[in-house]
Structure 1
Amino acid sequence: MHCPFCGHNESRVIDSRESTDGVRRRRECIRCELRFTTYERVNSMPLMIAKRDGRREAFSRDKLARSLQTACAKRPLEVGAISKLVVDIENELHKLSKAEIEARVLGEMCVERLKILDRVAYIRFASVYRDFKDVDSFTKEVEALTHPEFENETKSQLRLIEDDVPRLAERNRRRMAKQS
């Protein structure tokens, strides 16, 4: 493994850990003694994506990550949430055990996960992916997110801290009152 700092081709492994998409190794260069991280993934069969217009394109996890990052731009998401989505989607694609996947299937996987992760990111992604023909179809999609049925789907999500602010403020007031 070549050191990214000095280019020396010898390093020693300091730590190895299993991660969701492979093995993470912490290495130290023998020459410059600087540390760096490498990731190892199983090299599985290449996936091809069948586009709507009939073209075929190799699956690119980087392209998927960029698309999801664009949809999630400036959204209050956990660190690593997009990477986790990419790994999850890629794993599900491989579980299908097909050499060729329709772009529609990949798009639906993204849409369903974004709908759960962040509604604004979902609408951003869906507006491009679903190619709404007019404002009415777009409005219907947004309104569907505010219906009680959708609220029930997302009850399993953790609440945002903003939901807890009044409760936490009251608890702190009581705690301060006890101390004085």
Structure 2
Amino acid sequence: MRCPFCGHEETQVKDSRPSEDGAAIRRRRMCPACEGRFTTFERVQLRELTILKRSGRRTPFDRDKLARSISIAIRKRPIEPERVERMISAIVRQLESMGETELPSSTIGELVMKHLKQLDDVAYVRYASVYRDFRETQDFARFLGEEGLNEVLARER
């Protein structure tokens, strides 16, 4: 593993342990050249997933991109990071277990919406507003009416 600080080719593993959700190995590393310390995570990848975008373009699946989009939806919400990490791991496992190597982006969007609805209603609506491309307030009202979330969101205020 290359050192992120000085670029030295060899680093030493000082400590390894399973992550909180058990889906990864957390490794504490040290660079012998600059003595910088950093952490890496090693995950099992069952198969390479390719995402088919709405435009027809194909891109490799990126777990970090999924995590970033979810973190935007949950920003400033009282949600423990461990719950979010477990949710992301569950989504990735579901995608990998579908048996397909190429998945439409809509499959990921719907899975994220399903999991966010169980996690936090406000984060769910935030994600839906981007995923469903809301343009005006009527789009929110229509969505909330369809989903029956008006009462839930009124309690959030």
Classify the TM-score, shorter chain: 0.7 to 0.9
* 4+ aligned runs moved over 6 Å, structure 1: none
Q: State the 1:57 CA deviation.
A: 2.6
Map residues 124-143 of structure 1 onto 2, 5 A cutoff: 124-131=126-133, 138-143=140-145
Structure 1, gaps ≥5 residues long: 149-180
Aligned residue number for residue 103 of structure 1: 105
Cα root mean square deviation, aligned = 2.7
- Equivalent residue pairs, number: 148
The TM-score, its normalising length taken from structure 1, stands at: 0.67
User: TM-score, normalised to structure 2's length?
Assistant: 0.75
Aligned AA for 1:39?
F
Give distance in 2, aligned partners of 1:129 and 1:63: 14
Partners of 1:36 and 1:137 lie apart in 2 by: 45
The whole-number CA distance in structure 2 between the counterparts of 1:37 and 1:88 is 22
In structure 1, C-alpha distance between the alignment counterparts of 2:136 and 2:2, rounded to whole Å: 53
Separation of aligned partners in 1, 2:27 and 2:45:
17
How far apart, CA to CA, are the structure 2 residues paired with 1:5 and 1:39? 17
Q: How does 1:1-180 map to 2 (within 5 A)?
A: 1-19=1-19, 20-131=22-133, 138-143=140-145, 144-146=148-150
Within 1, Cα distance between the matches of 2:57 and 2:33?
48
Q: 1:55 to 1:35 in 2, by over 3 A?
A: closer
**Gap runs ≥5 in structure 2:** 153-157
Larger Rg: 1
Paired-residue identity, %:
47
Tell me: higher relative CO, structure 1 or 2? Use CA pairs within 8 A at least 6 residues apart. 2
Deviates more, 1:110-119 or 1:30-39: 30-39
Distance, in Å, in 1 between the alignment partners of 2:84 and 2:113 is: 13
